[in-house]
Amino acid sequence: MIRRWVVLLLAAAFLVHLGYLYFQVGRGIEERAGGVSIFYGRPTEMRAGDHLGNLRFAERLQRLSYRKVAGKPSSAGTYAEEQGHIRIFIRGKKTKKPAEVDGPVDIRVRQGRIAALISPRGKELTSIRLEPEELDRVTLTQRDSRHQVTLAVISRHLQNAVIAVEDGRFYSHSGIDLLAIGRALFVNLKEWRFVQGGSTITQQLAKNFFLSPQKTFGRKLQEMELALVLEMRYSKKQLLEMYLNRIYLGQDGHQGIYGVEDAAGFYFAKHAKNLSLAEAALLAGIIHAPNRYFSGRRPEAAIQRRNFVLAQMLKRELISPDQFRAAANAPVQIRHGRSSVHRNSYFIDYIQRITREELGTEKLYHSDYRHYTTLDPLQQAIAEEAVIQGIGAIEKMSRPAGEPLQAALVAVDPRTGELTAMVGGRSYKESRFNRAADARRQPGSAFKPFVLLAALALSMQKKGDKTLSTIVSGEPVAIPTPEGMWTPANFENKIYDKITIRQTIEDSVNTATVRLAVDIGMNEVLATARLAGITSHLLPVPSLALGSFEVTPMELAYAYATIASGGISFEPFPLFFVTMADGETVITRKIRHKWVFDPQVTYLTGYALEGVLERGTAKEAKKLGIYFPAAGKTGTTNGNRDSWFVGFTPEVVCAVWVGYDSGADTGLTGAAGALRIWTRFMSALYAHAGPPAVIPPPGIVTALIDPATGFLATELCPQKLQEAYLAGTAPQETCPEHRVHPIRDNIRDKLRSVGDFFRSLFK
């Protein structure tokens, strides 16, 4: 009887102990999982007319883990394709009326574009939205991956390789593999030294989460006990995901590399989901000694270890013989010490900076927040590629300065004011200074569009004082200043005579721009820049017209967005809202905008800036892949310290800066430097079809003119240009230098002058 009670008491004590461990393990895992800030990109909105190629629709579905099915999609996260139709069952909320799309939406496709969006109930929809993609996960815990990922976005090859080499019976044991322990014990006794371990993945996870690295018999028993509890509390997939996000995989200087996502970026410049079979096998093979195989001193050892892992995968029928041979013969290509592929870190840091004050530093890192941002993941990837590839090509032509050439890129959606891409430098790992948001540099000639905008806005008030074909002087100019006479020169000291305002902006003529600015008034220019969105320190002095005051790339991008949007000025908008893990909203941001310019004025400004790419300082853009209409302006500062290009379509504004942090001479103009990164970004963005055409607002008319004189073109004019005007301001006289009927035209011109004189008397 006493013996029975003892057994019962021991059993009860064991159950209490097990329950306590169950609770403690859960709390410990949650504490380690807590403090992770998750960042999401903006939802992909799809409308009729959008080109699926430009949207990179197939890639977006893959990144969001949508599954292709045969027949009609019956569950969220699936889609089906047939001739002229894509039927997709979207996850989460799709529109303001979720009931309308509670089922697969029919995307009707014609020539690669969306022809119509039809709801499950047969109604035509204005738009649909794919759910936001996860951008990043950030934690300050030193022994966790900075970028934790779900199992769904880790290469299946990598998952299988890790299981094959670390724990072949992972899916069949309950946390402890007695066969593996027995096998390891036999080998170690035979060799009379520690050669092989018998720990399962679950045991390794228990050790990493809860125990010290000390090797004792008591600690081993604790490890096994904790492994059993972990298996009771979590599924195999959850355990594997935690393991892959926490495993140590080498050193990056003084910083450890934890988790397969960080390791894939550090060693292969890839995301974990994109690793090849050979790369996955190599990464799995180094788990027990990463610094030995990836030190760069023993490549043959790395190959042997990789092929051992591949052999284990073949033995367990996780790969085919053909896959084994191809991977085993592949060369080892390690980009050791390169920057991580997580290049959106500049943007993530920027978001943390602007939310830190509201959330508080402690809460920011020790609470589970979900940040829903405006960043477009694919635009960001394109921007990063454009900067890295572009700057690699540009620096070959640049003037060395003993420091790395830097670049910054900002992209904005002028329809909404959303910040869609941000690159703060060539390498976040080498420098965390965000040049996109914080570097103040002179914009040079990239400021000139605001002189043009001011002239056209003032002209509209005065009913046609200035048009794009108005003649101004490009001759040398001297302006008195408190420091003495200021005599700005043109690029390469080129001398101009009488030119149109259009040519002033297309050829970036300094002398004519200064004359125009002084004519309309520097206060007017400054006020226009302020309305457009430039908030940095400016003064109404003549040099302002040539961009002598410093601005940030983000500031300039948003100021150009005011032109591209039809006169709507947006405040920078990088974040929609922040929630807790349970969905409680803690921060909400609203788009702040104001209509500051007449659409007719911004249309004319953009129309003039199209000429910069067609005939002006950025005409090389066509050779660099810009086959579609776009508007923009180059900028180069004194001594080639700063190279700029800011350009736009109706869908995106992109500002690019190139230069040295020290302000040293780059030897690059705006066209030779920044333009080349901008064209890489834009041509990749519109790889399949050009942007929608710019629709002129009411009140705009066109006339065929002689671009040299600004008058209506005749048959004899060697060049002709279709120019745009406010209604009632187009020229009425024909070109005086190329008259077809000189006597008749002279008589008509004199009669018109007399008529204008008498009309003025009766006003």
- Catalytic residue numbers, as ranges: 166, 445
Interhelix angle for 448-461 vs 510-520, to 10°? 40
Take residue 124 and report the two structure tokens written for it. Answer: 């035509």
Query: For the CA atoms of 721, 725, 727, 728, what is the dihedral angle to 10 degrees?
Result: -80
Do the strands 631-636 and 585-588 form a parallel or antiparallel pair, or are they unpaired?
unpaired
Strand-pair partners of 722: 704
Position of tokens 């609470």? 367
Separation CA 55–CA 518 (nearest Å)? 45
Strand-pair partners of 89: 78
CB 705 within 8 A of CB 729: no
What residue type is assigned to position 616 of the chain?
A: G
- The DSSP 8-state label assigned to residue 143 in this structure reads T
Residue 362 burial (10 A CB sphere; 0-12, 13-18, 19+) = exposed
Position of tokens 């979720």? 98
Take residue 495 and report the two structure tokens written for it. Answer: 């001398």
Separation CA 142–CA 146 (nearest Å)? 8
First-last CA distance in the chain: 122
- The DSSP 8-state label assigned to residue 624 in this structure reads T
Contacts of 589 (CB under 8 A, 6+ apart): 573, 575, 576, 577
Separation CA 585–CA 588 (nearest Å)? 7
Do the strands 37-40 and 369-373 form a parallel or antiparallel pair, or are they unpaired?
parallel
354: number of Cβ within 10 Å: 14
Query: For the CA atoms of 137, 339, 350, 679, what is the dihedral angle to 10 degrees?
Result: -120
Take residue 355 and report the two structure tokens written for it. Answer: 């939310």
Separation CA 279–CA 263 (nearest Å)? 11
Three-state DSSP class for 578? strand
